[in-house]
Structure 1
Amino acid sequence: MDYNTDLKRRNPPHLRLREIEVLIISAQELKNVKHVTNMRAYAVVYVQKDLHVAKTHVDEHDGTNPAWNEVVKVRFKEDLPESDVMAALNVDIYAHGHVREKPVGSARVLLCDVLKGGDASEPLDNPIQCITVQVWRPSGRPHGLLNLWVPPTGRFLIRRESLSFSVKEAVGAQEEEKEEEEVEKNKVRGEICVELET
């Protein structure tokens, strides 16, 4: 065998990769695979598993309804056609354990359903679109739902802080608005009282 041919075979040319961002929000009503202790779930995200895999943090507290609210970056071959049925974003959910990781379920979203193109420099082309997909057990039975968001351009164009879907934060923001309104009303009342006195 020719030495140069063998060298090329062992060292293929550098692959051109594409990277997309995915917000893994939460899951609900997952199968409880930990019967003694609280289930601590995390998600493994990939398009081509042998090429690149991204992971979320482990949710320590929410059991079968984990909330990650985490942006992960996933890389895959640039020449992978989005119209190909094999071109899909896969999310495998596991329960973290001291001895071994137990599979909880998997979800799959075709790239052609979420990557719609658009101008990456134009925020109006990048609306918030949360998707909910079915989680399937390793046995093939449906069990639970996964909430995620893939921007149409593959990149988030707004500040990361604003991607939070926390109910607590939303309630806090509403309370702040009410307080500001109350302060404004009191200020107006004070001005009216001063005018009446004079």
Structure 2
Amino acid sequence: MENNIKEESGLKFQFPKKDTVIKFDDTKFYRDYFNKLPEAKGVDFISVDKDKIAFIEVKNCIGDEGNCRWRIAPNNQKRNTTHTSVNVEGRDSLDIEVAQKTAMTVAALVGAKSFGNTKECVSELREYIQFLAKDTFSDDSKKKYVILFLEGDFGGKTRSKKMIMKSLQDSMNKKLQWINCRVSVVDSDTYDPRLFQIVS
């Protein structure tokens, strides 16, 4: 896994050496083209190798759990009833946000693919676009992952963090039924080290 390190929200993620990884919203295609779409958004990382693609969103809420509590209740159930100092207008709970970001990221890759080799900025997305090719993306042996990495102390008297993560995961699963993928909500205690590792 050496040296394939990306940082997001104060956390360092080390990906397997064979993986190609990008911070999607740092790409030239995202900034110069996709970002022109009103309310465009994408996942934090896309990681790909010949056998898998992973869409990864990172939410590091450590120290700010109070302002994020409304976001961990699926389907915006608590958006207008939980006290928070942040403006919630136009924002969604994490299950909705991650499902939308995944959909928009897939759409952006399809859009990038439509240019073939005519735009230089598409070259940094080549491995991801190739994975979306008909034979690869529809091959059941090639794994598709959507991962919400949720860091923060959200457990309470009535619900453990594990229960909260499971409820977000179930809701994301429903919203992402249109794509054949494996959805998971994980934290630094439960992530799959074959996909990435947290390093200090």
- TM-score w.r.t. length of structure 2: 0.29
Larger fraction in helix: 2
Larger fraction in strand: 1
- TM-score w.r.t. length of structure 1: 0.29
RCO (CA 8 Å, sep 6+): is it higher in 1 or 2?
Answer: 2
